Chain A
Amino acid sequence: MSKLDSKIPAGPLADKWKNHKDHMNLVSPNNRDKIDIIVVGTGLAGGSAAATLAEQGYNVKAFCYQDSPRRAHSIAAQGGINAAKNYQGDGDSVYRLFYDTIKGGDYRSREANVYRLAEVSSSIIDQCVAQGVPFGREYGGQLDNRSFGGVQVKRTFYAKGQTGQQLLLGAYSAMSRQIGKGRIKMYNRHEMLELVIVDGKARGIIARNLVTGEIEKHSAHAVVIASGGYGNVYFLSTNAMGSNVSAAWKIHKKGAYFANPCFVQIHPTCIPVHGTAQSKLTLMSESLRNSGRIWVPKNIEDAVAIREGKLKAENIPAENRDYYLERRYPAFGNLVPRDVASRAAKERCDAGYGIENNETHEGVYLDFSTEILKKGNEAAIEKNIHNPTPQQIYDLGKAWIEEKYGNLFVMYEKITADNPYVTPMKIYPAVHYTMGGVWVDYNLQSTIPGCFVIGEANFSDHGANRLGASALMQGLADGYFVLPYTIADYLAADIRTGAIPTDTPEFTTAEKEIQDKVNFFINNKGNHSVDYFHKKLGHIMWNKVGMGRTPEGLKEAIREIEEVRRDFWADVKVPGDANGMNMELEKAFRVADFLELGQLMAMDALEREESCGGHFRWDHATPEGEAERDDEHFKYVAAWEYQGDNINQEVVHKEDLIYENIEVKTRSYK
């Protein structure tokens, strides 16, 4: 029987959250210290949740695999965070943010969740400012905003190109305050490897101390998973190297449904791959699309000459450049949503116009020369410089760009050794964000009672495609403003339970399973490193479960991944021992989970016979090559239920998506 009950409160959309809060059970302040909560992950979602829960008076145990919570992957977010403040007076509102998010997600997210997200968004900004997050300001001292792909208002708050860093440091400082008070016990360099269920409820975890190698048992009345996304299934992605799916996958194997795993966002503006030794792809913030124009040469000979190093981008005259986004999507131009921009780049490169001078030929230009000229002229007028020389204009324009995006330009130059003020940046799409994740209800609870999932690790708010600057918003909304309420509703029943003992059979069995697996890895006499298998998996995923998918390709992918899985368990080699730091062992656990998830992603992609957001099926495209969605048959969330080792036997449950407040339309950015 399906356990999918979304628990969306009744009543009008705009009142749902308020009504729900008014009627939820509470845990009174004097009872909260009788309750323990485990939070796995200290990114924006986990960090904000841990701080808030501790402040409310619960005993919080927080875990992260890095040496400090301040280093969680959220730290890397560059561009900004959305909020419906309408400070710019350009017509923004809670409804419009809600509408843009639903539309941007290709109508595959839950109305009620997204509305709540839009509703609490403005509190996030208030909260962060109070914490001392140094957002960009205007000269009058008020907050400044920028605009991001897929929307037509300026609602994105930013802290230079380091928004994620500053927001995370805000959450980390709130955590630090609680750590200092002894209300959060922080477990750095600890990895959760298993969930422990007692009497049908999540009651603890098994974690490995990554310094000593000890396997530890930790109990709690509820477990919150905030472990981030699974983009590293592709090996190369913009995610931090340690980002993994293990926590989410382990709870999936214990009964939590995994929703829409095939919805992966490919980000259009990353630095192209340089070679086979590559470990990681670097994102260039999407905010650059506000000022940069994307193009490839109009003539194929020029593209060839560029690749051969015989011609430079700056020497191609404007009329010989194909600004293909402006050409194809005049209304949004360079600011079309990510899936559209990514596919358009792939289309041009597949057609032979790519400019990167390596085997892949994958790359297009992101060019700032027009903006430098425009801003230079504006600045000259502002500064009362009459008849400015071209050099003066260029210098003023360059200064403007430097002020706005300087750190990104430096970053780009360090990686590529090209100066992007002179030569346009080279960019290409790369795996970035995962919209799929653990299925949760409106209360952010998974199908396992007492196991909650927040941030990128859950599936609920972004649909098939995430708009820029909305992941940070969701992470903080979940952690600061949603989970602390909804978890109380669940925990109210636990005030008399008392501490959960860890010497029960459930804990012992789970501990032993992990210990056995550690022993297996250490003793297996294999021939290949963990990365060897991870790269193989990544290759299959990128080629067959990447930007364009076909039924044949997906079927092949499923078969090939099964093979890699078999080889992995037979032939993986993990040097070193288990009693102490062993990074290969850490990777082995993570890649074992990626292999299973990869297979499920291909299955989900095969099952979803439509094109939708980040999921593009070549057999479901319009004659012009645009995505063709099928609302009649696929307006649902696919939630997969684990059935044992053979991933092919997972069962899909469907949650119908009901749009009562929004008219479902074809997404068009023409």
Chain B
Amino acid sequence: MSTKKGLNLTLKIWRQKNNKSKGQFETYKISDVSTDSSFLEMLDMLNENLINEGQEPIAFDHDCREGICGMCSLYINGRPHGPDTGITTCQLHMRMFQDGETIHIEPWRSAAFPIIKDLVTDRSSFDRVMAAGGFISVNTSGNTLDANAILVPKEDADNAMDAAACIGCGACVATCKNGSAMLFVGAKVTQLALLPQGRIEAERRVLNMVKAMDEEGFGNCSNTGACEVECPKGITLSVIAKMNREYMAAAIDKG
């Protein structure tokens, strides 16, 4: 059972007015933070204090606050989504921290995710990679086959679901020393490659997505595996292997 405690903390937070200005760390103190609060609730508290003192609150991205929309980000003490595994920042709770601790909070840092303000970055490069091929080309008219006419082995459906669980948060890119987006792209390629509906355009898909990924300035994968460690949804390196196989086959085919 959780025993609630009030923490006193020092926060070192990256402040940056906009994309054009230079940023720097600022230090803030906060007291009596409930260990039952989430990390973002702690930031809400801080913001409320800042507003009351007439300062500008800290901008950070968030929406669902339950680990599914992929909107929250934050580099906390040198790790994307902070010191816990398998979670997003909104799922991080203050019971993970000690009274008196100093916490460093930074935005995602990657060339492909430019900073917009404070802790907010622009991840629309992911959307552009998706628009290059992250879909099955099917009319949305509903005049398709009866759903059960497409049989999918349970195992394939389950594996496709595991890959499809990616929330597009960008932690994989943020943590990668090369800024590679292979885990994100590999997850989509794998999901669609596993399903019979997705097979027909698999070659085109992987070629286009990889091309778009390179154009967006994401780095290459050197198999360090940091992405897998930080992914909140447990996407594994196997999706990168799968993507590489798909890519090789497609490239040879087109060769």
B1 within 8 A of A: yes
* Of B40, B140, B144, the contact of A48 (CB 8 Å cutoff): B140
What is the CA–CA distance of A141 and B158 in the complex, to the nearest angstrom?
11
B255 within 8 A of A: no
Residues of A within 8 A of B177 (CB): none
Q: What is the 8 Å Cβ interface bit string for chain A, positions 229-265, against chain B (1 contact, 0 not)?
A: 0000000000011100000000000000000000000
Q: List 24 A-B contacts (CB under 8 A).
A: A69-B127, A73-B64, A76-B64, A76-B68, A126-B145, A127-B138, A127-B140, A130-B138, A132-B197, A137-B154, A138-B154, A162-B68, A176-B127, A177-B137, A211-B122, A240-B64, A275-B4, A278-B37, A414-B91, A575-B50, A576-B56, A580-B117, A581-B120, A583-B57
Q: Is the CB of A68 within 8 A of B137?
A: no
| 208-239 of chain B: CB within 8 A of chain A | none
What is the CA–CA distance of A417 and B3 in the complex, to the nearest angstrom?
10
Q: Is the interface of B mostly helix, strand, loop or mixed?
A: loop
Q: Is the CB of B146 within 8 A of A126?
A: yes
| 29-79 of chain B: CB within 8 A of chain A | 33-34, 36-38, 40-42, 44-45, 48, 50-52, 54-57, 59, 61-71
Interface 9-residue window, one of B98-106, B161-169, B242-250: B161-169
Q: Is the CB of A143 within 8 A of B147?
A: yes
Q: Residues of B at under 8 Å CB distance from A?
A: 1-2, 4, 17-18, 33-34, 36-38, 40-42, 44-45, 48, 50-52, 54-57, 59, 61-71, 84, 86-87, 91, 93, 95, 116-117, 120, 122-124, 126-127, 130-142, 144-148, 150-154, 157-158, 160-161, 164-165, 167-168, 191-192, 195, 197-198
Q: Is the CB of A172 within 8 A of B130?
A: yes
Known contacts A132-B136, A174-B135: does B62 contact A241 (CB below 8 Å)?
Answer: yes
Q: Is the CB of B66 within 8 A of A274?
A: no
Known contacts A124-B142, A130-B136: does B124 contact A141 (CB below 8 Å)?
Answer: no
Q: Is the CB of A180 within 8 A of B154?
A: no
What is the CA–CA distance of A173 and B51 in the complex, to the nearest angstrom?
39
Q: Number of contact residues on A: which range applies? A: 35 or more
Q: What is the 8 Å Cβ interface bit string for chain A, positions 414-428, against chain B (1 contact, 0 not)?
A: 111110000100000
What is the CA–CA distance of A279 and B61 in the complex, to the nearest angstrom?
14
Q: Is the CB of B41 within 8 A of A188?
A: no
Q: Is the CB of B138 within 8 A of A131?
A: yes
What is the CA–CA distance of A292 and B74 in the complex, to the nearest angstrom?
36
Residues of A within 8 A of B197 (CB): 129-132
Q: Is the CB of B116 within 8 A of A211?
A: yes
A541 within 8 A of B: no
Known contacts A165-B68, A529-B52: does B147 contact A141 (CB below 8 Å)?
Answer: no
Residues of B within 8 A of A532 (CB): 48
Q: Is the CB of B142 within 8 A of A67?
A: no
A555 within 8 A of B: no
Q: Give the residue name and chain of the A residue nearest to B60 (CB).
A: A583
Q: What is the 8 Å Cβ interface bit string for chain A, positions 172-205, against chain B (1 contact, 0 not)?
A: 1110110110000010100000000000000000
Q: Give the residue name and chain of the A residue nearest to B52 (CB).
A: A529
Residues of B within 8 A of A162 (CB): 68, 161, 165
Residues of B within 8 A of A166 (CB): 161, 164
What is the CA–CA distance of A177 and B93 in the complex, to the nearest angstrom?
38
A96 within 8 A of B: no
Given A129-B150, A414-B87, 9 additional A-B pairs, CB 8 A: A125-B147, A130-B147, A134-B161, A173-B134, A174-B138, A241-B64, A241-B65, A357-B1, A583-B57
